[in-house]
């Protein structure tokens, strides 16, 4: 099922997409009332491989991770397709693979491969003409016109705002549906890019005031007033999960030394919450409908017996 982000952009003045990386995060974001999700490339490679986001996640790894997330939620998903895994010719096949996986958009960035997280020093960008070819190939490859091609540029750190604006215009003219300037340095950069374009601009926000990222933290309302149409919060959920697991593991360590078991219901989701989130009841209902009656009686008899 294709779920349209284009229609959401037509309907809402600004979209907000949490960065998800697994079934838990996708279902929790949908349960929280969000209408759009974006995969976090860093979150996927960090959680699945235990490695830094420096271009080590393969196309197959990425597509299969996205396919699983698509199956876990009814919301449209924008996928991080990194640099397109090669040149314009490979981008053609990459776009088709992500579209078949059921995502509604892909972002392709203009970094030199191997790429790195947008807020890490040492980035390099490919020539404008090469990126334009990738975008044109991506547009040509999609089968559904509602499938969005998002052109991400990391040029601000390398070529300054003027270079980034020139690239954004070229990517727009090549057929990109959304421009995603990463690691913007503040309001002035955003104003400059938004005013130069006629297509939506997506901005990535950090996940905490105390976090050292290139982009200063700004409110969604402030970004809306600047003309931003889409805000992604890429690292909030994986960072929150790391913090929660650190706290839980500390409690486990304390329990080793304690004379009694430590109970911390304030730190964890109870079993009923987990079962509801992951859809256990629909599965059990299928069992009740289609398993032989004697098996159902054995499974669901109050005492566990067949009485």
What would the pLDDT profile of 62-101 be if each residue is shown by its tens digit?
999 999 999 999 999 999 999 999 999 999 999 999 999 9
Residue 305 lies in a domain: no
Q: Check whether 2 has a pLDDT greater than 50.
A: no
290-307 mean pLDDT:
78
pLDDT bracket for residue 116 (50, 70, 90): low
Residue 226 lies in a domain: yes
Share of the chain above pLDDT 70, in %: 93
Q: Cα–Cα distance between 21 and 279 in angstroms, integer?
A: 19
- The residues near 217 (Cβ < 8 Å, ≥ 6 apart) are 205, 206, 208, 209
pLDDT at 49: 95
Give residue-wise pLDDT tens across range 117-129: 656 666 899 999 9
Residue finishing a domain among 210, 235, 260? 235
* Angle at 214 (CA atoms; ends 213, 217), nearest 5 degrees: 70
Residue 197 lies in a domain: yes
- What's the mean pLDDT when you consider all of the chain? 92
Q: Any idea what the CATH number is for the domain that residue 152 is in?
A: 3.20.20.60
pLDDT bracket for residue 303 (50, 70, 90): low
Domain holding 252, by residue range, is: 242-300
Q: Please give the distance of CA 1 from its chain centroid, rounded to a whole number.
A: 18
Residue finishing a domain among 235, 270, 286? 235
- The answer on 215 and 98 residing in a single domain is yes
Total number of domains in the chain: 2
* Of residues 54 and 83, more confidently modeled: 83
Q: Check whether 197 has a pLDDT greater than 90.
A: yes
Q: Check whether 164 has a pLDDT greater than 50.
A: yes
Residue 69 lies in a domain: yes
- The answer on 76 and 183 residing in a single domain is yes
Residue 306 lies in a domain: no
| Positive or negative torsion for Cα 222, 109, 148, 2 | negative
Residue finishing a domain among 235, 252, 277? 235
Residue 97 lies in a domain: yes
Residue 213 lies in a domain: yes
Q: Is the peptide bond before 126 cis (omega within 30 degrees of 0)?
A: no
């Amino acid at each position: 099922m294709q779920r349209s982000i284009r229609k959401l952009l037509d309907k809402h003045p600004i979209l907000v997409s949490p960065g998800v990386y697994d079934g838990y995060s996708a279902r929790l974001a949908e349960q929280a009332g969000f209408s759009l999700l974006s995969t976090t490339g860093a979150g996927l490679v960090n959680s699945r491989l235990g490695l830094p986001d420096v271009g080590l996640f393969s196309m197959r790894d990425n597509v299969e991770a996205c396919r699983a997330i698509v199956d876990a939620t009814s919301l449209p998903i924008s996928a991080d397709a990194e640099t397109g895994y090669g040149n314009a010719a490979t981008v053609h096949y990459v776009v088709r693979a992500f579209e078949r996986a059921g995502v509604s958009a892909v972002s392709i960035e203009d970094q030199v491969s191997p790429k790195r997280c947008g807020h890490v020093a040492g980035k390099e960008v490919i020539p404008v003409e090469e990126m334009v070819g990738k975008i044109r190939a991506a547009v040509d490859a999609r089968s559904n016109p509602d499938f969005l091609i998002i052109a991400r540029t990391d040029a601000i750190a390398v070529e300054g705002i003027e270079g980034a604006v020139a690239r954004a215009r070229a990517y727009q003219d090549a057929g990109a549906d959304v421009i995603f300037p990463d690691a913007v340095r503040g309001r002035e950069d955003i104003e400059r890019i938004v005013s130069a374009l006629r297509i939506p601009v997506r901005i990535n926000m950090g996940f905490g005031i105390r976090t050292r990222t290139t982009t200063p933290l700004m409110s969604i309302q402030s970004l809306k007033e600047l003309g931003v149409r889409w805000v992604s919060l890429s690292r909030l959920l994986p960072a929150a999960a790391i913090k929660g697991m650190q706290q839980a593991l500390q409690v486990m360590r304390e329990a080793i030394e304690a004379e009694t078991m430590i109970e911390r219901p304030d730190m964890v989701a109870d079993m009923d919450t987990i079962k509801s989130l992951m859809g256990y009841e629909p599965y059990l209902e299928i069992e009740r409908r289609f398993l032989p009656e004697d098996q159902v009686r054995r499974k669901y008899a109050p005492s566990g017996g067949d009485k």
